[in-house]
Amino acid sequence: MPTLHLAAHASNVAVARRFVRELLEEWGCREEIVDSAVLCASELVTNAVLHARTPATVNVRLVDGAVRMEVGDKSPALPVVRTTDAVALAGRGMQILAAFSSRCGSEPTRDGKIVWAEVDSG
């Protein structure tokens, strides 16, 4: 499984986007799948950088007709879907994941959590 290890730095969001895009293009995924997956990966890593503030690991794989992106970090705090108003500048990460992925969620781990999103590739 292709894996990317990142420090908790905002510049690494772009590194994660590039990693996912290049990988999915190499796998021959359609452009709209690549674009949705890159957006989801960007949100996942942004949330890890902003909220966990720990190193993160990005895993990408094909599972049951979907591209699955998983971002693991060292914080045990699971993400929360927030209600935001129309002019809020933050707090929409999980809403964006829900809108652009087929499925998304989070799971606690022994040393933190994994937050994931899947984009159907079929």
Beta bridge partners of 4: 58
Number of H helices, E strands in the chain: 3, 5
The parent domain of residue 78 ranges over 3-120
Under the banding of pLDDT at 50, 70 and 90, the label for residue 91 is low
Distance (Å, whole) CA 53 – CA 120:
29
Query: In this predicted model, what pLDDT tens digit does every residue of 34-44 receive, in sequence order?
Result: 999 999 999 99
Domain of 109: which CATH number?
3.30.565.10
Under the banding of pLDDT at 50, 70 and 90, the label for residue 86 is low
- Backbone torsions φ then ψ of 6, nearest 5 degrees: -130, 145
Under the banding of pLDDT at 50, 70 and 90, the label for residue 90 is low
Structurally, how many domains does the chain consist of? 1
